[in-house]
C-alpha cells in the first residue's frame, strides 16, 4: 500500500513564525502535491513537484514556498505565518500527473 505521512497532525504557531510542514511518501512517486482545505472552499492546490528540485505553482502559492531535495520528501514552508494561513494542509503523491493521488492524513495548522 502507498503510504503518505505528514510530520504532524496538529500544529500551533504564532504570527510571523517560520513553519515547516513535512511530507514523506514511500512508493517512489514522481509527483507530490500540497493542498489546503478550508470549509466551503474544498481543496486548493498550493504547489506541486514533478521531480526532485522541480516545482510548479498551483492556484494559491502566495505566502508559501516548497522544497524537494529528495524524491520521497516534499516540504511546505510558510516563511512568515499569518492568521489567514490557519487551515488543514494535505499532502499527496502520484506516479504520473494524471494518475490517482494518494493523500496523507493532513496537518491542522493554527496560527495565533
For the window 41-80, what string marks contact with another protein as x by the rule CB under 8 A? Answer: xxxxx--x-x-----x-x----------------------
Strand partners, 111: 13
Query: Closest distance between another protein and the C-beta of residue 69, in Å?
Result: 22
Beta-strand ranges (E) seen in 1-112 are 4-6, 10-13, 19-25, 31-38, 42-51, 54-57, 65-70, 73-78, 87-94, 102-103, 107-111
Query: Closest distance between another protein and the C-beta of residue 12, in Å?
Result: 18
Using CB under 8 A as the criterion, which residues of the chain lie in contact with another protein when the complex forms?
33, 35, 40-45, 48, 50, 56, 58, 88, 90, 92, 97-106
Amino acid at each position: 500500500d502507498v503510504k503518505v505521512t505528514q510530520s504532524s497532525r496538529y500544529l500551533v504557531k504564532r504570527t510571523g513564525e517560520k513553519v515547516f510542514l513535512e511530507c514523506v511518501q514511500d512508493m517512489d512517486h514522481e509527483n507530490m502535491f500540497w493542498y489546503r482545505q478550508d470549509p466551503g472552499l474544498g481543496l486548493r492546490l498550493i504547489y506541486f513537484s514533478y521531480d526532485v528540485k522541480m516545482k510548479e505553482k498551483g492556484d494559491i502559492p502566495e505566502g508559501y514556498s516548497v522544497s524537494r531535495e529528495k524524491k520521497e520528501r516534499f516540504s511546505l514552508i510558510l516563511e512568515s505565518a499569518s492568521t489567514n494561513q490557519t487551515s488543514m494542509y494535505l499532502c499527496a503523491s502520484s506516479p504520473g500527473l494524471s494518475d490517482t493521488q494518494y493523500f496523507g492524513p493532513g496537518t491542522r495548522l493554527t496560527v495565533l
